[in-house]
Structures are given as C-alpha cells and as structure tokens.
Amino acid sequence: MKKIHIIGGGTISHVRNHLSLIAPAWGTTARQINRLIENWINEYEYKWDYNNPIEYDWNLHLTKVADYESKLVTNEDVEHLVDQLIADPDTKVIFFNAAMCDYDGSINNQESGKYADRLKTTDGYQTMLLRPSAKIIKKIRRERKDIFLVAFKTTTNATEDEQYIAGLNLLKENSCNLVLANDTVTRTNMIICPEEARYCVTTNRDLAINTLVDMTMKRQDLHFTRSTVIEGPSVDWNDPEVPESLREVVNYCIEKGAYKPFRGATAGHFAVKVDDQTFLTSKRSTDFNKLNEIGLVKVVSSGPDEVIAYGAKPSVGGQSQRIIFAEHEDVDCIVHFHCPPKNNIAMPIKRMSQYPYECGSHECGQNTSNGLSEIWKGIKAVYLDEHGPNVVFNRTADPKRIIRFIETFFDLSEKTGGPVWIQ
C-alpha cells in the first residue's frame, strides 16, 4: 500500500484570548489536488501492470481554517500530523500545501496562548513582538528520503526569475522533489524541480495544478541507488588516474561558466570509468568551479542498487553514469551540464523528455542511455529537454574535438531553467 497525503488550509497562532495570528488559506488547492489524485489513480493505476496494480490510499488533511470540523489548528497540530506520517512506512507522497503561520506573537512579555489574559481596548495601543516559528517541512525529507515531497511557494509581484529563485531556494533547503511557485499579483505559476528546471510557466492555475499532480505521480515511483559513504581520500583532480581528455574538457566547461553555483553547489556531473565496478565521479553538493580543491570521489558498485563511495557522496548522476558505461562499452568518459542548445542551430542530437524523471533515478539513467547516439565520430550525445546534454567519449579522444563539439551545439553562458541569480 502506498499512501498519499495532502495537507492544506491555514494555521492559527494564539496570542491572547480572542486574539490570534492566522495564515489565511481555505484549502481550495488541497481539495483540487485530492480530486485530481483520485482521477489519476482511477485512470492510470492498471496501465502500469494490469495483473499487479499498485494499491494507493490517499488522504486529505485540512486545518480548521479550511474545515470547521478539523482538529488541526496550530503549527504544532500540523507538526504532530507530519510526525505520524513520517512514522508510517507506507507514506509515499506528501503534498505540503498548508499555509503555516510564519510568526508567533507575544505582548508585554506575557506567555501567549488561547487562554492567555484577554486584552482590553480601553488600554489603547499595544505592541506585539513577532518571533519566527519553527519550519516543519524541513523534517520530512531529513528523516525520510523515500518520501516524495511536494511544496508550495508564494511570492507577491515578483518577476518570473525572482519567483523561480524563491521556489528553488525552498526546494533545495528542504530537499523537496517538486515545488509549485505562484505569485498572488501576477498570477504566474511554475513548477520547479531538483534539476533546476521550471515547467508549466502559466497564469492558468488549473493547468499548473493538473501538471503538478501528473508530474508527481509519474516521478514518485522511481528507483534510486543507495550510496554508502565510507572513509577514504578524495581523488585529486590532477591525479594521473583522471584522463587528460576529461580534465581538459571539464576545465573548458568551467572556464566558460557551464557550472553556475546556487547555494554553494553546482548542477551537473562528470565521470570516468576505471573498470566494470569502479568509476571516479564528481562530488554531490559541491561547487565544481573549485574542482582543484575538492577533487573527485571513487565509487565501487556493490550491487545493482547500491554503491560504496569513498569519503563523499557521489553526484546524483552516478546512476546514469553506471548505466551508460555498462551499455556503451566503447566510451568511458561523461560530461553533463545544464545548458541550452545554441539558438538557430539544427541540432542532430536526439532530444529525450526529462518530464517524468528525476535526475539520479534508474529511469532517468536508462532514458539517457537510450537516447545516446554517435553524432561526430567517437562522440556520443543526448539532450535531455529542460535539463541539458550528456556528452560521452573515450579517454583516447582528442579533447579539442570534444570542446569544438560542445562549442558548436551548446551555449555555456546560459542555464536551463533560468539564472540562479538576480541581475
């Protein structure tokens, strides 16, 4: 049984008797998601495996602001619910659509609460001290990496790039799988994913919610390889074990700005195969522009679904690397960056949809491998839409040809998804 939970509505923070702070949200989006989940399951459930359909159970949890019969009132009530969902091993997906009170208030240093002394209007003006409340959403993926977490970010009269960065910050900070960002003034919606792409940029709210549910249901059942990190040294970027061809190509990409940091880390990955079980790859959550300082991580396959990494976690693209190396034995180097094709160029490279796949999943790796083909002699490539290219070659290849190939087809000055900074 796979359980899907939708949490919606606003919360209340009691200050005094008859005085509270409130996050005004009436559960409209949560109710809509609940209906769409039911429709999606009824339509698609038997298409995956007719003889062994996936059993789903979905539950809508509304706060008292959205449903007067609910017992979810405060942030603490929602936190208690979240703790219960985390403790349930069947919990698979959480749509965290609740509007949480961002602040708790107090007046005259008196302890706040539903039954605290009631204020008298005859006492005149009062000053309230606002303290930021604890963030509950952060604990979900911190404690359960197997839960697919969908979050929501609201902006007010932001540009699309500002809206994107606000949503991406929420996603990265809380390890979310998807974020729907919406602006209450411009009415713009967009779906942001870990690959730093943005999908469905639209003022059509229904279209955005429908797309969010569809992406969630297609991505929530993906498979990932576990990385067990043990003690071990990094592999120096200038170590002889790193082929000169890979080093020269990656250094060129760095020089041209292909790896743009956000929150101290860059998207993309690169690797070299050492043998059938071993490869050297880029480190997860690091800035590749500091490659001479951070080096690479050595990874050894210990089974089809688990790897041993020495000293650091490997890039999430490690699964794609394993599949490509296994299915394309003529190549042993991979370079991946999040850059768009050059404008107005006929690109012979096959484009593969990234929409249903989260980067790092087995399914993303297989999709990447399936799309690879030789474009120039000795150079294979595939372009993942809204994501970026994988350029694959043998260590014996002339790096200048690889660089010329990249220069011909890709704009390293731009990033798919959009800029991760505000000009």
State the average pLDDT over residues 151-157: 97
Among residues of the chain, what percentage have pLDDT more than 70? Answer: 97
pLDDT for 158 equals 96
Count of residues making up the chain: 423
Answer whether 406's CB lies under 8 Å from 394's CB. Answer: no
State the average pLDDT over residues 135-156: 97
DSSP 108-157: TTPPP-TTSPPP-GGG----EEEEEPPPSTHHHHHH-TTSEEEEEEEESS
The 10s digit of each residue's pLDDT in 11-46 is 999 999 999 999 999 999 999 999 999 998 888 655
pLDDT beyond 80 at 302: no
What is the average pLDDT score of the chain?
Answer: 94
pLDDT category at 355 given cuts 50, 70, 90 is very high
The 10s digit of each residue's pLDDT in 243-301 is 999 999 999 999 999 999 999 999 999 999 999 999 999 999 999 999 999 999 999 98
The 10s digit of each residue's pLDDT in 221-232 is 999 888 899 999
Answer whether 33's CB lies under 8 Å from 55's CB. Answer: no
DSSP three-state, residue 53: coil
pLDDT for 162 equals 96
Q: Calculate Rg over the CA atoms of the chain.
A: 24
pLDDT beyond 70 at 53: no
pLDDT for 296 equals 97
pLDDT for 306 equals 82
222 vs 220: CA distance, rounded Å: 6
The amino acid at 265: A
Among residues of the chain, what percentage have pLDDT more than 90? Answer: 88
Task: Look at residues 343, 352, 356, 348 and name the one whose alpha carbon lies nearest to residue 380.
Answer: 348
State the average pLDDT over residues 372-393: 97
386 vs 398: CA distance, rounded Å: 29
Task: Look at residues 397, 412, 269, 382 and name the one whose alpha carbon lies nearest to residue 334.
Answer: 269
pLDDT for 338 equals 96
pLDDT for 41 equals 87
Distances (CA, A) of 351 to 131, 246, 299, 331, 405: 49, 24, 29, 20, 16
- Please name the residue that has the structure tokens 């003690």: 231
Three-state DSSP string of 200-217: EEECCHHHHHHHHHHHHH
The 10s digit of each residue's pLDDT in 79-93 is 999 999 999 999 999
pLDDT for 346 equals 82
